[in-house]
Amino acid sequence: MKNPDLKTLAGMIDHTNLKPFATEDDFRKLCAEAAEYGFAMVAVNESPVSFCKSLLKGTGVHVGAAIAFPLGQTEIRCKAAETEAAIEAGADEIDYVLNVGKLKEGNDAYIREEMQTIVEICRKYGVICKVIFENCYLTKDEIRRAALIAREVRPDYIKTSTGFGIGGATPEDVRLMKETVGDLVKVKAAGGIRSYASAKAMIDQGAERIGTSSGITIIREFLEEQEKACR
């Protein structure tokens, strides 16, 4: 992708607060910033979805709910119920964590069933679905296998990381994911992206969304670069 303009860059950012100790004041701040900067979405856990939805009414900013976060170690029926509850509360987007253990066991049938279940719920309600791989725990072959399943099932996005694992997004993983799914599924990079340079590295490899709690820093650094280029 060529260098994005300001509006395009802001519209790629999922402004994130998934901390377990976040309060209503934190969510008010998160939503106000997202509306001010024109970010794509606020990424929150399921509980504050309805509160954030009310704050963002009329702004065009989506509310995204993290499901089975951050471990992914709940049964499919539990992930499905949580997804339904989040959508009922007003979620426009769902980011769910796949069962990493099942993937590592080679149980691709389980991963496919899980993905199909969540994707079908999201399609039913017209909600965007993102599948979090948590790449820091996966081999390149495991990342590729999960991406091939996604290529078949067709969630809207596959996503690198929760940001709560032992590592975050890398340009190499983004490239591998994008090369595997092609144009059939988009890629979201998340985890450890705290600067415009790191965000741009992900975008250059094919990421179309950036999950970060440093969205404002990224925008400010982008504007500084633009200013320097105009001197």
Residue 104 is among the residues annotated as catalytic for this protein: no
Provide the pLDDT for residue 146.
98
Global pTM reads 0.96
pLDDT value of position 51: 98
pLDDT digits (tens, 9 = 90+) for 107-162: 999 999 999 999 999 999 999 999 999 999 999 999 999 999 999 999 999 999 99
Of the residues 14, 95, 156, 173, only one is catalytic, namely 95
* pLDDT over 90 (residue 48): yes
Task: Please indicate whether residue 183 is annotated as part of the active site.
Answer: no
Summarised one tens digit per residue, pLDDT across range 174-224 is: 999 999 999 999 999 999 999 999 999 999 999 999 999 999 999 999 999
- CATH code for 6-230? 3.20.20.70
Nearest to 18 by CA among 47, 60, 56, 57: 47
Point out the catalytic residue in the list 53, 102, 130, 159: 159
Q: What is the mean pLDDT of residues 1-13?
A: 89
Q: Model confidence over 49-74: pLDDT tens digits?
A: 999 999 999 999 999 999 999 999 99
Indicate if 29 belongs to the active site. no
